[in-house]
Amino acid sequence: MDIPAILITLMFLTLFGLLLLGYPVAFTLGGVALFFAIAGLILANVFGLPVGVLDYGYIALFPDRIFGIVMNDVLLAVPLFIAMGVMLEKSCVAEDLLEAMGQLFGAIRGGLGISVTVVGALLAASTGIVGATVVTMGLLSLPTMLKRGYDPGLASGSIAAAGTLGQIIPPSIVLVLLGDVLSSSYQEAQRNLGIFSPTPMSVGDLFAGALLPGLGLVMLYILYQAGMAIFRPASSPAIPRAEGTVLNIAFYGKALRALIPPIALIIAVLGSILSGIATPTEAAAVGAVGAILLGGLRCVPEKARLVRVSVIALMLLFMIGQLFDLRFGREDIRAVERAAQGAAILLTIIFFAGLFSALRNTWRSGVLKEVMTSTVKISTMVYTILIGAALFSLVFRGLGGDAIIEAALTNLPGGKIGALILVMLVMFVLGFFLDFIEIIFVVVPIVAPVLLMMDISPVWLGVMMAINLQTSFLTPPFGFALFYLRGVAPDSLKTVQIYKGVAPFVLIQLTALVLLALFPGLATWLPGVIFGL
């Protein structure tokens, strides 16, 4: 009788059973791990079963794991990206985006659906939180689309699909967490192969790898919207534009004012990572500060003059930093460089004054308090799950689970392809019942090292997993995005209509997954160009 295999099977069945009953994820992970750790120790020491039922040395590593989680610089990007996304949501920047895109493209047939897809991509790049994006667009866009005569299925499918783009379009929380886990798994796989100077894999690599597939998904969504407008015109009618707006400069100026700031923020965050100027954590800080400035502009526009000046000061400060050497303490500082240093100090003071003004505006409007509360709640949830998952992973390894999984995957028919297909199917099914955080922290550390030992690119594997989870969250009848949309949709919209409307987008997702499997270069080409991987 294989006692460790029985304990591991019971551990997973107990975990999933308790999660399906609705118990908190973090405490369920830790509690189940502790229970089976004690059971393993009792079987090994009290009943005299062979040592190896549980290796106590793994449990002793738990304090080090907690310390590693707290000191992990990459994970610091999580609360910063959360703050960035929640600020853009609470300060109605997302609402302005939807309104502006609707005004610009709504006058063409299918334009409102295309607008929803584009805004979903922009919100995905700025928030990365599926639930927040789906709920926001469901509240703002769905009533308008239904009122304007859009097919209910097409309207709901467009919103649900666009909301899930936060899984794949960088910078997103999913990619930050997945990149950190895959980085550790890749190092472990290389050490198991006898490579003691492992090639690093960073979150920035995964961001670069996910960019082209993410944008490709957006293009496929838009092509489907355009095809529906051509072949089924009644499903996506045009919205008559108000008279005089075609040549109205003020109309286009208002639309551009809503579009340019968030797009500039996204470019600044993602561009700084891909160009190597900043790490993901530093870029996340840039995004959080930029979102605060945008919130200050949006919440109290009549008192935002200093905020606008601070944005200009920041741009000038960046230009001066590129043109001059601003380091102090050098012996041969030229007069023009001293002038540049003085200007930089003045611009920095102006910037911080504008940032303080933005914080004051968002505080007085009540937005800042909501943002900080939501950020603390979500971040605490993520870190608590991380700690619970770390204990679960240690007990799993202490029972010999990693060896069991490795033997199971390597002995599958089809070798590497068979193992990859099985892992993807398991993750797809788990995506019906578990959130991405649980899957990333529980499942990926178990299966990723085995797959990466089979000479699979970690970047390609990460992008495949992200798209797979995105498809799972969109697939009826259990997809999370569908539940989010059902919660904010009007009663007149039937659940069956939502399921029918989202089905074509699921087929698009599966097509993208197959294309990525057949052409791995879609994910690996850009990181190779940028980072030389």
- pLDDT-derived band at 46 (thresholds 50, 70, 90) equals low
pLDDT digits (tens, 9 = 90+) for 342-373: 888 999 999 999 889 888 888 888 888 888 88
Q: Contact 222/236 with Cβ under 8 angstroms? A: no
pLDDT over 90, % of the chain: 7
pLDDT over 70, % of the chain: 91
pLDDT digits (tens, 9 = 90+) for 159-201: 888 888 877 888 777 888 888 888 888 888 888 777 767 677 7
State which amino acid sits at residue 98: L
Q: Contact 310/350 with Cβ under 8 angstroms? A: yes
pTM for this model (two decimals) = 0.81
Distance, CA of 483 to CA of 155 (rounded, Å): 15
Per-residue pLDDT, averaged over 503-531, amounts to: 89
Give the residue from 367, 365, 400 showing the smallest Cα distance to 57: 400
Q: Contact 159/141 with Cβ under 8 angstroms? A: yes
pLDDT digits (tens, 9 = 90+) for 308-341: 888 888 889 888 888 888 888 777 788 888 888 8
Rg (CA), the chain: 25
Q: What end-to-end distance do the CA atoms of the chain give, in Å?
A: 46
Q: Evaluate if residue 257 carries a pLDDT over 50.
A: yes
Distance, CA of 94 to CA of 133 (rounded, Å): 9
The answer to whether the bond into 170 is cis (omega within 30° of 0) is no
Give the residue from 95, 163, 96, 161 showing the smallest Cα distance to 130: 163
Distance, CA of 155 to CA of 488 (rounded, Å): 13
- pLDDT-derived band at 243 (thresholds 50, 70, 90) equals very low
pLDDT digits (tens, 9 = 90+) for 489-514: 887 888 888 888 888 999 999 999 99
Residue with tokens 């690599």: 205
**Of 122-126, 449-453, 466-470, 500-504, which gets the smallest average pLDDT?**
122-126
Q: Contact 132/95 with Cβ under 8 angstroms? A: no
Distance, CA of 16 to CA of 433 (rounded, Å): 9
Q: Evaluate if residue 33 carries a pLDDT over 90.
A: no
Q: Evaluate if residue 242 carries a pLDDT over 60.
A: no
Distance, CA of 161 to CA of 217 (rounded, Å): 10
Could you give the dihedral angle defined by the CA atoms of residues 463, 466, 467 and 470, in that order, rounded to the nearest 10 degrees?
-170
pLDDT value at position 244? 43
Instruction: Look up residue 98 and give its two tokens.
Output: 């939807």
Distance, CA of 491 to CA of 487 (rounded, Å): 10
pLDDT value at position 127? 57
Q: Evaluate if residue 29 carries a pLDDT over 90.
A: no
Distance, CA of 298 to CA of 521 (rounded, Å): 41
Instruction: Report how many helices (DSSP H) and strands (DSSP E) the chain contains, helices first.
Output: 25, 0
- Using CA atoms, how far residue 495 sits from 154, 160, 504, in Å, is 13, 13, 16
- pLDDT-derived band at 532 (thresholds 50, 70, 90) equals low
At 110 the three-state DSSP class reads coil
Q: Evaluate if residue 111 carries a pLDDT over 90.
A: no
DSSP secondary structure letter of residue 17:
H
Residue with tokens 């600020």: 87
At 326 the three-state DSSP class reads coil
State which amino acid sits at residue 103: Q
Per-residue pLDDT, averaged over 20-46, amounts to: 79
- pLDDT-derived band at 50 (thresholds 50, 70, 90) equals low
Q: Contact 98/130 with Cβ under 8 angstroms? A: no
State which amino acid sits at residue 416: K
- Using CA atoms, how far residue 26 sits from 390, 411, 437, in Å, is 10, 33, 10
* Mean per-residue pLDDT of the chain: 81
| Residue 148: CA count within 13 A, CB half-sphere | 24
pLDDT value at position 301? 76
Cα 117 to chain centroid, rounded:
17
Going from N- to C-terminal start, the domains of the chain cover 248-365
